[in-house]
Amino acid sequence: MALNLLNRNRNPGEEEMSFVDHLEALRWHIVRSAFAIVIVAIVIFIKIDWIFDKIIQGPIRNDFVSYVGLCNLGRKLGMKDALCLQSVNGLHLQTTQFGSQFISSINIAIVGGFVVAFPYVFWELWRFVKPALSPKELKSSRGAIWWVSFFFMLGVAFGYFLLAPFTFSFLYNYSLGSTGLIHTIPTLDDYIENLVDIIIGSGIAFQLPLISYVLTTIGLITPNFLRTYRKYAYVAILFIAAIITPSPDWMSQTIVALPLILLYELSIRVSVRVTKRQEEKDKEEWS
């Protein structure tokens, strides 16, 4: 049955592919995706010093565009220093093993290669899945590559320029006890791991509208379901924003929470449109 689904959209003159043929096709899609990631990773590794100084260390530099921009925005709005993040002066990263810096360079190159090559990687995945879709499903999924890539890159930008600075500023300046005997000296591996988790996690989180579209299409969720649990979703979003913002000021929490709330509202809108379209098709079929 699975093979029939994969073969149902093939041209009449083409032979049906066996299970082994599908595995072979999948293997080449994966190989081409991996090759694209490796090519970009090599370029990043060649420029690793510049990338580490200008990009990787950005969220922990006091002159980072987000620190300066938010602070200037707060002052223009008459909020004084309410949006100014706490300084990360004195932050030094350390390594505890001889090979840590070299391994970190490789990790940065691979993750950077995946982020940059993501549109191509998803395109290869789409090429493998596409033959299994019916003409109606293909019409409904038009523009999928562009939208998935757009929301992923938007999430990466949100994580890098907003969420990461807030997170590192808060965690670095958080102190346990009042004696001042404890100093935060994070390792290079710890910093890169947290930065990658924030960036990739944000990229995945920003797929929420597309997930809503798919789940509504297959009937797992409805607009009413999303509206019913909206208040719980808002509480969760505000709780996360309250944890990572450097101060209890409502404006700084809003800056973090607002994009996630907008994504949830957009997901409801998407679900409504999909439901209406399905209802219209059902009416046409019955008429």
Cβ-based neighbour number of residue 46 at 10 Å: 11
**Using the 8-state DSSP alphabet, how is residue 125 labeled?**
H
* Side chain identity at residue 76, one-letter code: K
Cα dihedral 134, 135, 139, 143 sign: positive
- pLDDT at position 1 over 50: no
Mean pLDDT, residues 207-232: 85
CB environment 170-181: b (16+ within 10 A), e (fewer): bebeeeeeeeee
What rounded mean pLDDT belongs to the chain?
A: 83
Q: What is the pLDDT of residues 139-151, one digit of tens each?
A: 767 788 898 999 9
The reported pLDDT for the residue numbered 269 is 92
Has residue 176 got a pLDDT over 60? yes
Q: Give the Cα separation of 41 and 106 in Å (integer).
A: 8
Residue 132: C-alpha distances to residues 1, 14, 208, 215, 287 (Å)? 11, 14, 24, 18, 29
What is this structure's pTM? 0.82
User: For the residues 14-36, what does the mean pLDDT come to?
Assistant: 81
Residue 20 structure tokens: 């082994």
Tokens coding 64: 């980072």
What local confidence, expressed as pLDDT, does residue 17 receive?
66
pLDDT band at 15 (very low <50, low <70, confident <90, very high): low
Whether residue 157 is predicted with pLDDT greater than 90 in this model: the reply is yes
User: Where does the pLDDT of residue 216 fall: very low under 50, low under 70, confident under 90, or very high at 90 and above?
Assistant: confident
Predicted pLDDT at 41: 97
pLDDT band at 243 (very low <50, low <70, confident <90, very high): low
Sign of CA dihedral 200, 254, 151, 215: positive
Q: Which pLDDT band, with edges at 50, 70 and 90, does 245 fall under? A: low
| Plot region of 174 (φ>0 → left; ψ -120 to 50 → alpha; else → beta) | beta
Residue type, 110: I
